[in-house]
Structure 1
Amino acid sequence: WYGKVSVGTPPQEFNVLFDTGSSDLVIARKGCTTCGNYTVFDASKSNTFSKIPGYPYQASYGTGGNAEPLTERAVMNGTIVSDVVAINGVSVANQTFLLVDDYPKALGENPLGPNIDGIFGLGPPGASVFSSEYNGTFTTTFWNLVQSGQLPESVFSLYLNSGSGTSGEATLGGIDSSKYEGELAKVDINQTVTGAIGEWFINTPKFYVDGKTIKNSNTSQEFPAAVSLIDTGTAFIQAPDYQTAADIYAAISSEIKPLDDLGVWGAPCDAMEKLTPELTFTIGSEEKKANVTMPKAAFNLGRHKSHPNMCQAVILHATEPLSETETVWVIGSPVLKGYYTVWDGKNMQLGLGSLKGTPTSGNNTAVVSSIPSPTSGSTVSLVPGILALLISAVVLGVNY
């Protein structure tokens, strides 16, 4: 899902992915040799641009313009610079961002519309990857807007809208209560993992297929409790390992098989079109838990580009562990688009609301508590774009 931000004076406008799975703003510079038709930033035309701090930085990504992992990581090299960054009437002067010299084609291709020119990270407070690399204190765009007092609350809210081809909405500093019904449920962010890795993580003690717990076929035991990266920029769900994915799919259909060595699973398209399993995750801990259920229509991700008669299923498996100490899921937009989500950086909680007009069931119920509900904020229109990004946090000791 992407929207528009502007950089520089006078402003230069870019289509950027709104990504909770990363933290910093990334765009390409004029002179980029791999940028094709993407919009690039011309620093010479901005009278507020600064080369400071001028540190080099390399970012890498595991998936691009669709839900299939890249055979090789897409790497971008650039420089940390600063300028005015504005979004829908609010702005930050001297905002640091990564200005890259190369922008792999696979990262910006958007089958549903215009190319994606960059990434607008919406990671948790204090999560700029620049800080860990250079032992400095860098603040990302959204949290600078909060600190400056231009936004009324330390929250942003996302309406990704499960309707195909329709616009979504990001509200920075507030909540749009017209987009959901009932009360918001809230679950605590796992602050230990979030603080160590710099991305939004929640506890995920259980998962279900059609209301049933899945057991490890090798041990006959339930799979262990896990944590999940909650990432709007990822167009699939990623299981912690092969065995987890294999046992989930065994409970759904014997026709679903691995399609490649990148963790992708699928089945003949005529078979996939008939499958509508209900995938549910219990998230949170102790008394603050919620069950979130993926919309059934999201199970089939469409035809696999390397296997024309095969369609890709929504769950991939990690080909390498994402953490040496934790069992890690990645819960992406197939689940998140089924809910109105509120990301609260002050109380470190994730709020979840049932979308208006969406049928609910027992698996959509959640333990409900109050969460700050400001009526104001800066609202940005979001447009659907299948762009799945997993930033490689090598600097933070995590391999994606």
Structure 2
Amino acid sequence: MSNSCIPSIPLPWANRQKPNSRPQPRRTDNFRYFHLPGKIFGNSGSKVHIELENFENSLYYGPITVGTPGQKLNVVFDTGSSDMWIVSNLCPTSGTHRTFNNDSSRTYKNRDLPFIFNYHPGRVTGQWSQDNVWLAGATVRNQMFGLATENYQMYEDLDVDGIVGLGFLNVFDDNEPNLFSNMVEQKLLQAPVFSFYLNRLGSSDRSSRLTLGGTNPDLYTGDFTFVDLSAMNRWQFRVDRLQLDDDATTVCKGPFHAVVESDKSLIVGPEKDVLLLHRMLGAKPDIYDGLNYGYSFRCSTVDSLPDVTFVVNGKKLSLSSKDYVIKDEGCYSAFVGRKFMKRDGFPLWILGTPFMRGFYTQFDKGNHRIGFAKPNH
């Protein structure tokens, strides 16, 4: 495998420093719902629309420009992490990956502090830096980011040069805003909201899009189903149960946690629950890669498979077989099982891009909630 400064897709247990203080949660049915201290957000800005590239229905990435004069890079906009890092020209890379040359930017500042992000597998190391960042015409000034200088596992066959975290906390310093928070504080956006529309290759003429500052009504229909977050520092919420919608058969009794992560190409759940789901769907075990347990379907049965539904606040978030079946020289399930999928004593599910293709997803940081609407595929 070729090496570069880009790791494989990061998982949610990437190392993070603990904040100095946390808001106090209120408890409802033994679940924690966090409400952050109130803050006045400027509304003098606009919406920023970023077109995303779809790599084989598994990962979505888009352009940013860093420095003065600007240097264009492609990044994954990741709701599962909080920080930004890009690849330095001092990092040995292979292929056609772009890198950032800090000597060529007159607005660059070296913060003279090392950083390290541990992922599974691999890690990224380098130095904390600061510069201006452009996103679709909006200029974010003095943005903190990691400049990766060490050589680790790459995103194979992907034109990806780093990550922009859209989570809550910044590893460098609790008082240092991440890129989205910086855009809000600098009044570049109408509201502290961003949203994703992820297309399906071959079934949509619309491009995938990230909208910062609100939503894009052209890309969804109907009303949003909103749910409060059950964590202070991640896009996580409570699910009542998981069921099959042909006869409302319960697969997994809740409550359990679900976290939406836009950099994950699968839907990951506890091993036993995912096994039971696939027994009910008539799938068979297909692969074990040392971490995930995968399953496959007979392709002739895919169109007749029932919806798989996450019940949230009594409302259904249903995925059809078009959402959860991956067709690639066979028919494979986007649901995979993994051991030790728990958080705060409750089962944990990670909802990646197959789930997000099924819904236009709104991330409302101001109201600490997530909203789901029907996408216009």
Using the size of structure 1 for normalisation, the TM-score is 0.72
Post-superposition Cα deviations, 1:208-266, rounded to whole Å, max 9, x if no partner, equal 12343335xxxxxx534111111111111000x22111111110115335534322312
Question: Is 1:154 matched up with 2:212?
Answer: no
**Residue number in structure 2 paired with 1:386:** none
**Residue number in structure 2 paired with 1:253:** 282
Shift of 1:320: 3.1
Residue identity (%): 25
Contact 2:293 2:337 in 1 (8 A): yes
- Residue correspondence of structure 1 range 309-324 to structure 2 within 5 A: 312-323=332-343
> What letter matches 1:140 in structure 2?
N
Question: Is 1:296 matched up with 2:331?
Answer: no
> What is the SS of the residue equivalent to 1:107?
coil
For 1:238 and 1:44, the matched residues in 2 are separated by 42
Shift of 1:96: 0.5
**Residue number in structure 1 paired with 2:147:** 99
**Residue number in structure 1 paired with 2:92:** 33
Aligned structure 1 segments of 4 or more residues deviating by more than 6 angstroms: none
Contact 2:76 2:263 in 1 (8 A): yes
> What letter matches 2:186 in structure 1?
S
Contact 1:339 1:353 in 2 (8 A): yes
For 2:207 and 2:218, the matched residues in 1 are separated by 15
**Residue number in structure 1 paired with 2:79:** 20
- Residue correspondence of structure 1 range 315-354 to structure 2 within 5 A: 315-323=335-343, 325-354=345-374
1:128 corresponds to which of 157, 166, 170 = 170
Distance 1:264 1:275, change over 3 A: farther
Post-superposition Cα deviations, 1:150-169, rounded to whole Å, max 9, x if no partner, equal 11111112111235475211
Distance 1:268 1:184, change over 3 A: closer
**Residue number in structure 1 paired with 2:292:** 263
Contact 2:229 2:369 in 1 (8 A): yes
Contact 2:84 2:145 in 1 (8 A): yes
**Residue number in structure 1 paired with 2:35:** none
Shift of 1:302: 4.2
For 2:213 and 2:151, the matched residues in 1 are separated by 30
> What letter matches 1:147 in structure 2?
E
> What letter matches 1:339 in structure 2?
F
Bigger strand share: 2
For 2:201 and 2:274, the matched residues in 1 are separated by 27
**Residue number in structure 1 paired with 2:116:** 58
Gaps in structure 1 of 5+ consecutive residues = 63-72, 216-221, 304-308, 359-400
For 1:55 and 1:326, the matched residues in 2 are separated by 37
Shift of 1:324: 5.2
For 2:273 and 2:128, the matched residues in 1 are separated by 39
Shift of 1:95: 0.8
**Residue number in structure 2 paired with 1:214:** 250
- Residue correspondence of structure 1 range 68-147 to structure 2 within 5 A: 73-102=121-150, 104-107=152-155, 109-110=157-158, 115-124=159-168, 127-131=169-173, 136-147=174-185
For 1:200 and 1:325, the matched residues in 2 are separated by 18
Post-superposition Cα deviations, 1:95-132, rounded to whole Å, max 9, x if no partner, equal 1011112364542533xxxx1111111113xx11223x
**Residue number in structure 1 paired with 2:261:** 231
Post-superposition Cα deviations, 1:323-351, rounded to whole Å, max 9, x if no partner, equal 35332110111111122121111111112
Contact 2:292 2:337 in 1 (8 A): yes
2:310 corresponds to which of 259, 275, 281 = 281
For 1:242 and 1:181, the matched residues in 2 are separated by 34
> What letter matches 1:117 in structure 2?
D
Shift of 1:297: 1.7
Gaps in structure 2 of 5+ consecutive residues = 1-59
2:223 corresponds to which of 183, 187, 192 = 183
For 1:260 and 1:185, the matched residues in 2 are separated by 35
**Residue number in structure 1 paired with 2:49:** none
RMSD over aligned Cα, in angstroms?
2.4
> What is the SS of the residue equivalent to 1:205?
strand
Shift of 1:40: 0.5
Using the size of structure 2 for normalisation, the TM-score is 0.77
Shift of 1:179: 1.4
**Residue number in structure 1 paired with 2:63:** 4
Matched residue count: 315
> What is the SS of the residue equivalent to 2:226?
strand
For 2:209 and 2:284, the matched residues in 1 are separated by 37
**Residue number in structure 1 paired with 2:236:** 201
For 2:114 and 2:67, the matched residues in 1 are separated by 20
For 1:109 and 1:101, the matched residues in 2 are separated by 20
